[in-house]
Amino acid sequence: MKAIRMHEFGGPEVLRYEEVPVPAPAPGEVLVRVKAVGLNPPDWYVREGMPGIPPEFRPPFDLPLIPGTDVSGVVEAVADDVQDFAAGDEVMGLVRFPGAMQSGAYAQYVTAPVTDLAPKPSTIDHTHAAALPMSGLTAWQYLVEVGHDHPSPFQEARHRPMPLGGDTTVLINGAGGGVGHLALQLAKWKGARVIAVASGAHEEFLRGLGADEYIDYTKQRPEDIVRDVDLVLDTVGGPASRRFLPTLRRGGALYPVYFGEFDDEENAKLGVTVTGTQVRANGAQLAELGSLLDAGAIRVAIDSTFALADAPAAHKRAAEGHIQGKIVLTVP
Supply the minimum distance, in Å, between the C-beta of residue 127 and ligand NAP: 16
Looking at the Cβ atoms of 33 and 243, the one nearer to ligand NAP is 243
Looking at the Cβ atoms of 138 and 267, the one nearer to ligand NAP is 138
Supply the minimum distance, in Å, between the C-beta of residue 47 and ligand NAP: 13
Looking at the Cβ atoms of 190 and 243, the one nearer to ligand NAP is 243
Supply the minimum distance, in Å, between the C-beta of residue 22 and ligand NAP: 29
Rg of the chain on CA atoms, in Å: 19
Contact 136, 289 (CB under 8 A): yes
Class of residue 56 by CB neighbours under 10 A (exposed 0-12, middle 13-18, buried 19+): exposed
Supply the minimum distance, in Å, between the C-beta of residue 278 and ligand NAP: 4
Looking at the Cβ atoms of 68 and 276, the one nearer to ligand NAP is 276
Contact 324, 208 (CB under 8 A): no
Residue number closest to ligand NAP, CB atom: 177
Supply the minimum distance, in Å, between the C-beta of residue 217 and ligand NAP: 4
Supply the minimum distance, in Å, between the C-beta of residue 166 and ligand NAP: 26
CA distance 261 to 57: 15
Say how many CA atoms lie within 13 Å of 212 toward its Cβ.
Answer: 13
Looking at the Cβ atoms of 119 and 133, the one nearer to ligand NAP is 133
Looking at the Cβ atoms of 150 and 227, the one nearer to ligand NAP is 150
Supply the minimum distance, in Å, between the C-beta of residue 154 and ligand NAP: 8
Looking at the Cβ atoms of 28 and 41, the one nearer to ligand NAP is 41
Q: Which residues bind ligand NAP (CB under 6 A)?
A: 40-41, 134-135, 138, 173-174, 176-180, 197-199, 202, 217, 235-237, 257-258, 276, 278-279, 321-323
Amino acid at position 35, single letter = K
Supply the minimum distance, in Å, between the C-beta of residue 325 and ligand NAP: 8
Supply the minimum distance, in Å, between the C-beta of residue 198 and ligand NAP: 4
Looking at the Cβ atoms of 68 and 180, the one nearer to ligand NAP is 180
Looking at the Cβ atoms of 52 and 163, the one nearer to ligand NAP is 52
CA distance 262 to 273: 10
